[in-house]
Structure 1
Amino acid sequence: MGGTMQGIPVRTDSTVARKPWLAALLSLVAVGLGQVYNGHWRRGVGFLLFEFVLGLIVFAFMEQFVVLLIGVSALAGFNLFVIVEAFRSAKEKSAYTLKACNRPLVYAVFLLCSLALGLASSWGVRTYFVKAYTCASESMVPTMRKGDHFLAKALGAEGAIKRGDVIVFQSPENDGVDFIKRVIGLPGETIEIRDQVVFINGQPQEEPYVRHSESDVQPGRNSMAQQTLLSDEYFVMGDNREASYDSRFIGPINRKWIRYRALYYYFPADFGSESWSDRFGMAVR
C-alpha cells in the first residue's frame, strides 16, 4: 500500500518507532542527518546549510582570537542544539510511518553532501581566510617555540606585507614544504649583515626579537655582502639566527611563494606550563 504526503511518497505498510539515541548519533555524524531519519528532511537540509554558512562567516572574521572563541562556541552550540532537537523529536515518534527519505540511499547521499560541503568550506577557508599551522623547528625561538599551534591569514597575490611580519612561505627548494620566518628586507632595499648586525640601506636595525646562540662569526651566516632586492623579492630570516635556514642560504623569497601571515597562538607548546597560559591567544609578533 502507499500514499502521498505533501508531495512525498509515504510507505504506509511499515511503521517503526524512531530511536532517540540513533537520531542523536546521526546528527553527531552529520548535522541534519538525525532530522532526515526522523522524517524532517527539509529541516535537516536547512540545518546543514545553516552550519555551512555559519562556519564560513566565523572563519571569515577570525583574525582576532576572541572572534575565534565566540565563533567556535557558536558552532558547538548550534551542533548541540541540532543533536538535542533530533533526540527530542525521535522520542515523540513512537508510532512512525516510514517515508521516502527513510532509505539507506537517501542517508548516504545526505552524508556525502555533508562531506562535500565540509571539504569545500575547508578549502575555501584555507585558501581565502585562515589556516592552522604547527611550528616544526626551533628557528623562530624565542618568538615561536617548536610545537606551537598558530593561525595564519591567507594573503593572496595582493596581500600587504611589511617588515617584521612573521610569514609562512613555500620553499622554492622543496615543493610543498612551508617555512616560517620573519620579513627583514622589503622589495628594492639593500641588505647587508656585519658581525650579526643587519643593515638595511646602510642603517643598522634594532631587532629585539633576535636570539644569538653562538658568538663565533661565520661568513654567510653572521656576515653577508650587500645585495639589493628586486621589486618582487623579500629577505626573510629566523629569529634564532644561528639555527635558521633562511634567505642567507636560499636567497630572497619571491612574492608568489609567500602564502600566509601568522596571527596568534591558539594552542601554544608546553601545555600546562605557566608560560602556556600567558601565550594562549597571544598575537605572533
Structure 2
Amino acid sequence: MSVTSGTKSESGIGETIRVVINALLIALVIRTFLFQPFNIPSGSMKATLLVGDYLFVSKYSYGYSHYSIPLSPNIFSGRIFGSDPARGDVVVFRLPKDDSTDYIKRVIGLPGDTVQMKEGLLHINGKPVQRERMSDFVGEDPCGSDATARVKRWKETLPNGVSYETLDCVDNGFYDNTIEYKVPPGNFFMMGDNRDNSTDSRVQSAVGYVPSENLVGRAQMIFFSIAEGEQAWQIWRWPTAVRWSRIFSIVR
C-alpha cells in the first residue's frame, strides 16, 4: 500500500495557494491598469450599446485617478498620466452626484465649449451639428416599453469628424430644447445616444458636468451580448438569446 508524505502534501497545497494568489494579483493589475469589464443595464446609449451588452473599458486611455483603484480609496486627487478624451468618445465615469455609481455616455462637450439643444438638434459653440436622417431603428424599444418599436434614427457628425447614430423617441421631447450650457475648465459634457431616454449632463440636478477626475475609462469592445430580459448564466438559452453578431465588435 502506497502513502503520500505529509511534507509532499503540504508542498502541493502551498503551491496551489501561490498559484491562486498570483492569478488574483494578475487579475487585479489588469483590472486596475488595463481593462475592466462592464455590462449595460439600461437603454440610454441605444442603438450604440444595447441592454445586455458586456464590454471592455480601457483604464489607461485617460490616465488614472483614485476611481481606477478597486473600492476607490481616496488616497490622491487628480489624474496620473492624464489625457483628455476626444469629442465623441464613449466613456465610463463615476456619477458626480453619487460617486459609487458608474455611468456610460458619449463625450459631447469639452472644457470651454457651449452646448445646447434646439428643437432636437445639437449645437456646439453656437453651430448646429451635422445630422442626417437614416432608416428607422426597429428592435427592443429604446423608449421604455417592453415591446418592439420603430423609432427615428439619425447619423450625427461632430466637428472633429466623429460620426455615430442617435435615436429620437419623440419630437420636441423634454430635453430637445435646453439652456446653453458652458462647460467649466477640467470638466466634460456627456450625452446618451438615445436622446429622449437618457439622464445625462443636460440634467444638471442628476448628472451635470463631469470632472476629469471622475473618468474611469473608454469603452473599447463588446465581448459578449445577450438579448434584453435574458440571463447570461442560462447557457442553455445561448443559441437563440446571444446576439452573436455583436460579439467582438468595436464601440464607436
Q: Establish whether TM, by shorter chain, passes 0.5.
A: yes
Residue in 2 that maps onto 1:168: 92
TM-score with structure 1 setting the length: 0.61
How far 1:121 sits from its partner (Å)? 1.3
Residue in 2 that maps onto 1:234: 188
How far 1:113 sits from its partner (Å)? 2.0
Give the alignment of 1:13-28 within 5 angstroms: 15-16=2-3
Residue in 2 that maps onto 1:134: 39
Give the alignment of 1:250-261 within 5 angstroms: 250-261=207-218
| Secondary structure of 2:250 counterpart | coil
Distance 2:106 2:25 in 1: 31
| Secondary structure of 1:167 counterpart | strand
TM-score with structure 2 setting the length: 0.68
Residue in 1 that maps onto 2:144: none
How far 1:183 sits from its partner (Å)? 0.7
How far 1:257 sits from its partner (Å)? 0.4
**Percentage of matched positions with identical amino acids:** 28
User: How many aligned positions are there?
Assistant: 188
Map Cα deviations across residues 71-113 of structure 1 (whole Å, 9 max, x no partner).
Answer: xxxxxxxxxxxxxxxxxxxxxxxxxx7483x133x33332332
Identify unmatched segments of 5+ residues in structure 2: 64-78, 131-155, 157-163, 228-237
Q: 1:108 to 1:98 in 2, by over 3 A?
A: closer
Moved more, 129-138 or 153-162: 153-162
Preserved contact between residue 185 and residue 235 of structure 1 (Cα < 8 Å): yes
More helix by share: 1
Q: Which amino acid is the alignment partner of residue 241 of structure 1?
A: R
Q: 1:233 to 1:111 in 2, by over 3 A?
A: same
| Secondary structure of 1:211 counterpart | strand
Residue in 1 that maps onto 2:198: 244
Q: Which has the higher relative contact order, 1 or 2, with Cα contacts under 8 A spaced 6 or more apart?
A: 2
Residue in 2 that maps onto 1:215: 171
How far 1:139 sits from its partner (Å)? 0.6
> Quick one: which of 225, 229, 237 aligns to 1:268?
225
| Rg larger for | 1
Taking only aligned residues, the RMSD between alpha carbons, in angstroms, comes to 2.2
Residue in 2 that maps onto 1:50: none
More strand by share: 2
Distance 1:222 1:171 in 2: 22
Q: 1:274 to 1:205 in 2, by over 3 A?
A: farther
How far 1:275 sits from its partner (Å)? 9.1
Q: 1:124 to 1:195 in 2, by over 3 A?
A: same
Residue in 1 that maps onto 2:54: 149
How far 1:216 sits from its partner (Å)? 3.4
Q: Which amino acid is the alignment partner of residue 282 of structure 1?
A: S
Dislocated runs of 4+, deviation >4 Å: 271-275
Identify unmatched segments of 5+ residues in structure 1: 1-13, 17-96
